[in-house]
């Protein structure tokens, strides 16, 4: 059975059908890309997958169970985590606190454990600290652990956001333009990290990216959205040679 199965997913805003009959299937450990010109509906698709928008039609199933109607935090608890096109960190908190907050949403001790400082609280806090530091190492941010998130350069903020998503221990990770604003060297390193975490954490990843060559280099399977509809899907090689895809992108360049 597919890990994620999206069937005929649609949403309209007033008269605009931003996503129309989206069908998408991800198997466990897929590293897939969702590409398309500006305004194609990519972020809107992520917003439906994560419960930010309720679809007008269609269904989203994770491991065969429908996610429709669940709130974003409930979907996160089911194992879906995401990052945002516009970075959303707690800027006035330290790097490590950004991760610990994410771990807290899955903490094993309750409010009383924390208030009364029961033994479970201390072991839980220690475990969270250690796991947070491990993630920071993976994303090459361990030396910045005490820094305020706002003070990090842009590329590091993007990596911290991925680390934070990872702290919720997802099975499915959705990345909305993770390399936006990064230089080529940072982008290259990030793509290696994405590959590595997929393998290491047994993850399934769907990433939105504008840069075709980048997506072709990292993704094994690609979906192309244009005006809210899937116009092509396949391997990078198939997508590269697809006439409708070439037209959609040339059309964008020409405008
Ligand atoms: N909350 C909303 N209300 C009204 N229209 C919306 C809303 N969210 C998205 N849209 C519209 O839906 C369409 C798709 O937007 P979306 O942000 O999903 O595109 P995108 O593919 O992510 O584009 P980009 O590459 O620029 O990020 C756009 O026309 C956008 O204006
Ligand atoms: Mg977008």
pLDDT digits (tens, 9 = 90+) for 111-145: 666 666 766 666 777 888 999 999 999 999 999 99
pLDDT tens for 25-39 read 999 999 999 999 999
* Judgement on whether residues 13 and 68 belong to the same structural domain of the protein: yes
Query: Atom 24 (ligand 1): residue with closest C-alpha?
Result: 38
Tell me, in angstroms, the distance from the centre of ligand 1 to residue 39's CA: 5
* Judgement on whether residues 60 and 96 belong to the same structural domain of the protein: no
* Judgement on whether residues 4 and 51 belong to the same structural domain of the protein: yes
Kindly state whether residue 192 falls inside one of the protein's structural domains: yes
Ligand at minimal distance from the CA of 84 is 2
* Judgement on whether residues 199 and 209 belong to the same structural domain of the protein: yes
Domain that holds residue 112: 92-169
* Judgement on whether residues 48 and 163 belong to the same structural domain of the protein: no
* Judgement on whether residues 130 and 181 belong to the same structural domain of the protein: no
Angle between helices 119-138 and 95-104 (to 10 degrees): 120
Kindly state whether residue 255 falls inside one of the protein's structural domains: yes
Domain boundary among 169, 200, 222: 169
Supply 52's token pair.
């930010």
Other CB atoms within 10 A of residue 39 CB? 15
Bigger pLDDT: 85 vs 249 = 85
The C-alpha atoms of residue 44 and residue 41 are separated, in whole angstroms, by: 5
* Judgement on whether residues 97 and 162 belong to the same structural domain of the protein: yes
pLDDT of residue 110: 66
Report how many domains make up the chain: 2
Q: Which residue among 43, 87, 175, 209 is best mutated to probe the pocket of ligand 1, counting the most ligand atoms within 8 A of its Cβ?
A: 43
Domain boundary among 121, 154, 169: 169
Query: Atom 31 (ligand 1): residue with closest C-alpha?
Result: 39
Averaged pLDDT score across all residues of the chain: 91
CB distance 85 to ligand 1 below 6 Å: yes
Bigger pLDDT: 54 vs 121 = 54
Q: What is the mean pLDDT of residues 48-69?
A: 97
pTM of the prediction? 0.91
């Amino acid at each position: 059975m597919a890990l994620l199965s999206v069937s005929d997913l649609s949403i309209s805003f007033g008269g605009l059908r931003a996503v129309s009959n989206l069908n998408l299937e991800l198997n466990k450990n897929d590293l897939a890309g969702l590409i398309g010109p500006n305004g194609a509906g990519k972020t809107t698709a992520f917003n439906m997958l994560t419960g930010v928008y309720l679809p007008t039609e269609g269904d989203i199933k994770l491991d065969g169970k429908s996610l429709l109607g669940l709130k974003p935090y409930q979907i996160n608890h089911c194992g879906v985590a995401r990052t945002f096109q516009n970075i959303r960190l707690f800027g006035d908190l330290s790097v490590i606190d950004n991760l610990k907050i994410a771990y807290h949403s899955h903490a094993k001790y309750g409010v009383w454990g924390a208030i009364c400082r029961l033994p479970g609280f201390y072991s839980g806090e220690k475990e969270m600290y250690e796991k947070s530091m491990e993630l920071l190492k993976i994303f090459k941010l361990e030396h910045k652990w005490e820094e305020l998130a706002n003070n990090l350069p842009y590329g590091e903020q993007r990596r911290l956001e991925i680390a934070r998503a990872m702290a919720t221990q997802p099975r499915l990770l959705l990345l909305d333009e993770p390399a936006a604003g990064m230089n080529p060297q940072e982008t290259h390193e990030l793509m290696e990290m994405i590959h590595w975490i997929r393998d290491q954490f047994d993850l399934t990843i769907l990433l939105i990216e504008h840069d075709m060559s980048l997506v072709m280099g990292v993704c094994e399977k690609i979906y192309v959205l244009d005006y809210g509809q899937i116009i092509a899907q396949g391997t990078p090689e198939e997508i590269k040679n697809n006439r409708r895809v070439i037209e959609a992108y040339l059309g964008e360049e020409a405008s």
